[in-house]
Structure 1
Amino acid sequence: MDGRVLVILDKAYRGGVETQFVDVLYFVRELNRQLGDLSRPDPRGGLDLYLAGLAVTYAFDVPPPAPIHLADLEVDTMPDPRATVRALVGEDVGVWTDAEAHERFAKKDLIPGVRTTPPAEMVLRWPLYRHVWFL
């Protein structure tokens, strides 16, 4: 984990139409890209993501959101945080969820590659990171 940054996200945004273009997980992907070149090993690292609170729902392995109907308009470009979590896992971002929040909100399966850990154990890992950022 030397040189990596830990990003902690504990708020889940429930809106949709307002975040069609950029949401917090898109921002996390861009931070990861800037912190480490994905095409080659980079000593600066990249980042890891810890989902806490309602944000653990971003890691549930469930179908994408259904389109929204506004009068005669169908909006099918809703952000899909689960698709972004899958992309982050594919980009070698370590993704963890808060085990206690996962149990509290639902015992749904997690996206493959996402791990779960209690908050106290995650806090013990903080010194291994270059920075710990809360978004």
Structure 2
Amino acid sequence: MTAASATLLVVERAHRGAVETQFSDELYFAHALHRQCGGLDVLLRGPAAGYALDTDPVPAPTGVQGAALPLADPRRSLRTLLADGAGVWVERADLAAFGAGAPTRLMPGVRMVTGEDEAPDWSAYDRIWFF
């Protein structure tokens, strides 16, 4: 747990990147909660573990008029959370779906959970939310 965090957000489902959601994704929302609630930590599991991989931004598709469509980018939102001091963990077992080299491609600041002793202490949080 980071010093000021009272909330742990467990993200297990990955966002599909649909045009309908445009700029907002669950981690964009989490950033707003982090600022308003005085701190928030994130545990990425399941398909959402891929958010922790350090990759290039996803190119925006063009719309009918040729303008770029603003799509949600959970990795951009995760970088913002990290820059604002949120604690971020990812489950190593869930990274397996992204290839053998995935654990070496984590964003700086993301901590990998390989055993219970490395995971955030759930009892230390006032609230635990699941997405």
Matched, 1:31 2:33: yes
Matched, 1:50 2:43: yes
Q: How many residues matched?
A: 126
Q: Tell me which protein shows more strand as a share of its residues.
A: 1
Residue 8 of structure 1 aligns with which residue?
10
Measured after TM superposition, the shift of residue 71 of structure 1 is 5.3
Q: Which amino acid aligns with 1:92?
A: G
Q: 1:123 to 1:89 in 2, by over 3 A?
A: closer
- Note if contact 1:66-1:76 (Cα within 8 Å) is conserved in structure 2: no
1:132 offset after TM fit, Å?
1.3
After superposition, the Cα gap between the structure-2 partners of 1:121 and 1:19, relative to the gap in structure 1 and judged at 3 Å, is farther
Which runs of 5 or more structure 1 residues have no equivalent in the other structure?
Answer: 37-45
Residue aligning to 1:86: 79
CA contact (8 A) 1:11 1:55 kept: yes
For residue 116 of structure 1, give the secondary structure of its aligned residue in structure 2. strand
Take 1:11 and 1:122, find their aligned partners in 2: how far apart are those partners? Answer: 22
CA contact (8 A) 2:17 2:73 kept: no
Unaligned stretches of 5+ residues in structure 2: none
Give the distance between the partners of 1:73 and 1:88, measured in 2 at CA.
31
TM-score (normalised: structure 1): 0.81
- Is contact 1:56-1:97 (8 Å) kept? yes
The one-letter amino acid of 1:35's match is C
Instruction: Out of 49-58 and 98-107, give the one that drifted further.
Output: 98-107
Alignment partner, residue 113 of structure 1: 109
Worse-superposed segment, 7-16 or 104-113 = 104-113
Following superposition, the deviation at residue 125 of structure 1 comes to 1.2
**Once the 2 structures are TM-superposed, how far is the Cα of residue 77 of structure 1 from its aligned partner?**
1.7
CA deviations on 1:66-124 (whole Å, 9 max, x unpaired) are 12245563534222211111110011000011110012323330111011103744667
TM-score scaled by length of structure 2: 0.83
RMSD: 2.2
